[in-house]
Amino acid sequence: MEMPTMSGGFAALLGLEFDEVSGDRVTIRWRVRPELHQPYGLLHGGVYCSVVETAASVGGALWLGDRGQVVGVSNQTDFLRAVRDGELTAVGTPVHRGRSQQLWQVEISDAEARLVARGQVRLQNLYPTAA
Q: Which of these is catalytic: 53, 87, 107, 112?
A: 53
pLDDT, tens only, 27-67: 999 999 999 999 999 999 999 999 999 999 999 999 999 99
For the chain, the 3-state helix, strand and coil shares in percent, each to the nearest 5, are 25, 45, 30
Q: How confident is residue 1, by pLDDT bands cut at 50, 70 and 90? A: very low
In the residue annotation, 53 being an active-site residue is answered as yes
**CATH fold label, 9-18+36-126:** Thiol Ester Dehydrase; Chain A (3.10.129)
For the chain, the domains span: 9-18+36-126
Residue 106 has pLDDT above 90, yes or no: yes
Using CB atoms within 10 A of its CB, is residue 17 exposed (0-12), middle (13-18) or buried (19+)? middle
pTM given for the model: 0.93
The partner residues of 104 in beta bridges, in order of sequence, read: 94, 121
Residue 2 has pLDDT above 90, yes or no: no
What DSSP element (H or E) covers 50?
helix 45-64
Using CA atoms, how far apart are residues 84 and 79, in angstroms rounded to an integer?
A: 13
Q: What angle do CA 70, 81, 112 make, to 5 degrees?
A: 95
